[in-house]
């Protein structure tokens, strides 16, 4: 009878021990002075108790212990509430115009009524917009369009992304197209070098012309626009473009989307850098410009759907794509709403 009771007590203890092990409630106790490595197997130098595995389970039951652990780790965790995304609309002025990512902008109509402005009198570098004044001074020399110019190393040196090479022979007409359509600096240098006016005198005439056009804040130190010291304002550049496109030659060339010519060495194909030529509006003249100090600039004459002509200027856009995107936004707003407003519309900062 006593033997039966002992067997029952042993089985009960064994069952309780297995249950505790499966629930993870018992592991071999570690000595308070033992190291972390020792606490995993007991005191250093001792082997685990008979029938107990290194992991603290009973030998012969690793799969059960593993199953119990996986069951415990797979319990669902409480879900965190996701914060609802806030609806962010683009900042607009009191007139509903999205604030522009440019340093300055300006739009006027054919009667010089201001339709839109942002920092119109802020003096900024204008990059290759300089070439509009360069071409006007060059036209004063009454050029021979068929004269052939040989390109020299000084024309190509430090001329940015020119495709013209030294010793190429190119006509004045073709160089003039390259300067206006693709802002080629080597072409511009060659035209100025061979026009019969010394460089210092040529730049002086550029500054005098800007003053006479009502843009006294405009200043030039060289004819290409590669220097950040060539500066103007959005307001001044609108006046300069108006004057430049009074020339039929400048107006016609800046309206061309493509142009090809052949030098003594190769064929050149020019693509106009003014992307608005491929927009829904009619472009009657314009010029782009870029150097790092100036950002991306654009000045252009546009004829709207109803035949109304405006001049738009964008200075200091952070990218080429944004230059034209912001110009489109200004023009779209102008032709939709701006023409009917009786006063100047500021864009804000």
Per-residue pLDDT in tens (0 to 9) along the chain, 349 residues: 555 555 566 656 666 555 555 444 444 444 334 333 333 333 334 444 444 444 444 344 444 344 444 445 566 666 666 555 443 434 455 556 657 899 999 999 999 999 999 999 999 999 999 999 999 999 999 999 999 999 999 999 999 889 999 999 999 999 999 999 999 999 999 999 999 999 999 999 999 999 999 999 999 999 999 999 999 999 999 999 999 999 999 999 999 999 999 999 999 999 999 999 999 899 999 999 999 999 999 999 999 888 899 999 999 999 999 999 999 999 998 888 777 655 445 555 4
What pLDDT score was predicted for residue 257? 97
What is the rounded distance in angstroms from the CA atom of residue 115 to the CA atom of residue 108?
Answer: 5
Q: What are phi and psi of 135, to 5 degrees?
A: -65, -35
Task: Return d(Cα 337, Cα 177) in angstroms, integer.
Answer: 36
What b-and-e string marks burial along 325-335, b requiring 16 or more CB atoms within 10 Å of the CB? bbbbbbbebbb
For position 56, what pLDDT does the model report?
41
- Residue 316 CA to residue 296 CA, distance in Å, equals 5
As a whole number of angstroms, the distance between CA 178 and CA 119 comes to 31
Residue 99: the pLDDT is 75
| DSSP string across 211-233 | HHTT-TT-B-SSSSS-STT-EE-
Residues 69 and 248: their CA atoms lie apart, in Å, by 86
What tokens were used for 112? 């010089």
CATH of 104-340, one of 3.40.50.720, 3.40.710.10, 1.10.287.3510, 3.40.50.1860: 3.40.710.10
CA 281, distance to chain mean position in Å, is 24
Q: Which residues contact 249 (CB under 8 A, 6 or more apart)?
A: 139, 176
**Residue 140: how many other CB atoms lie within 10 Å:** 12
Between CA 263 and CA 252 the distance in angstroms is 22
DSSP state of 52: B
Q: Are 330 and 98 in contact (CB under 8 A)?
A: no
CA distance 139 to 173: 12
Contact 254, 181 (CB under 8 A): yes
CA dihedral 221→137→197→177, nearest 10 degrees, is: 100
Place of tokens 């006027």: 108
Maximum Cα–Cα distance for the chain, whole Å? Answer: 133
DSSP output for 109-167: ETT--EEEEESTT--EE-GGGHHHHHHHHHHTT---TT-EEE--HHHHTT-SS----TT
CA distances in angstroms from 326 to 103, 207, 258, 292, 329, listed in the order given: 11, 30, 24, 19, 5
CA angle 159-163-164, nearest 5°? 80
Helices (H), the chain: 2-23, 36-39, 62-73, 130-139, 153-156, 172-181, 185-193, 199-212, 234-244, 248-254, 320-336
pTM: 0.72
The residues annotated as belonging to the active site are 128, 131, 183
Place of tokens 């609802």: 84
Pair of tokens at residue 46? 């001792």
Under DSSP, is residue 286 helix (H, G, I), strand (E, B) or coil? strand
């Amino acid at each position: 009878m006593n033997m039966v009771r002992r067997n029952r007590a042993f089985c009960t203890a064994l069952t309780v021990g297995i249950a505790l092990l499966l629930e993870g409630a018992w592991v071999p106790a570690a000595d308070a002075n033992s190291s972390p490595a020792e606490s995993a197997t007991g005191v250093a130098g001792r082997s685990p108790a008979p029938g107990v595995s290194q992991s603290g389970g009973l030998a012969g039951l690793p799969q059960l212990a593993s199953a119990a652990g996986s069951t415990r780790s797979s319990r669902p965790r409480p879900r965190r509430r996701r914060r609802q995304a806030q609806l962010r609309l683009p900042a607009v002025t009191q007139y509903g115009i999205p604030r522009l990512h440019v340093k300055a902008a300006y739009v006027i109509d054919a009667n010089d009524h201001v339709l839109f402005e942002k920092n119109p009198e802020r003096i900024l570098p204008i990059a290759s917009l300089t070439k509009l004044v360069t071409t006007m001074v060059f036209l004063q020399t009454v050029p021979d369009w068929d004269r052939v110019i040989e390109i020299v190393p000084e024309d190509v040196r430090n001329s940015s992304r020119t495709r013209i090479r030294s010793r190429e022979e190119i006509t004045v007409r073709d160089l003039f197209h390259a300067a206006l359509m693709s802002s080629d600096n080597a072409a511009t240098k060659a035209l100025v070098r061979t026009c019969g006016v010394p460089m210092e005198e040529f730049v002086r005439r550029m500054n005098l012309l800007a003053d006479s056009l009502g843009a006294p804040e405009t200043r030039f130190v060289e004819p290409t626009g590669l220097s950040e010291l060539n500066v103007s304002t959005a307001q001044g550049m609108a006046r300069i473009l108006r004057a430049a496109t009074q020339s039929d030659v400048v107006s016609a060339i800046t309206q061309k989307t493509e142009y090809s010519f052949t030098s003594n060495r190769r064929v050149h194909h020019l693509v106009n850098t003014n992307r608005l030529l491929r927009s829904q509006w009619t472009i009657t003249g314009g010029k782009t410009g870029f150097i790092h100090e100036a950002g991306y600039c654009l000045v252009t004459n546009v004829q709207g759907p109803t035949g109304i002509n405006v001049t738009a200027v964008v200075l200091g856009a952070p990218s080429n794509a944004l230059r034209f995107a912001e110009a489109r936004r200004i023009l779209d707003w102008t032709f939709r709403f701006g023409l009917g407003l009786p006063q100047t519309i500021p864009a804000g900062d």
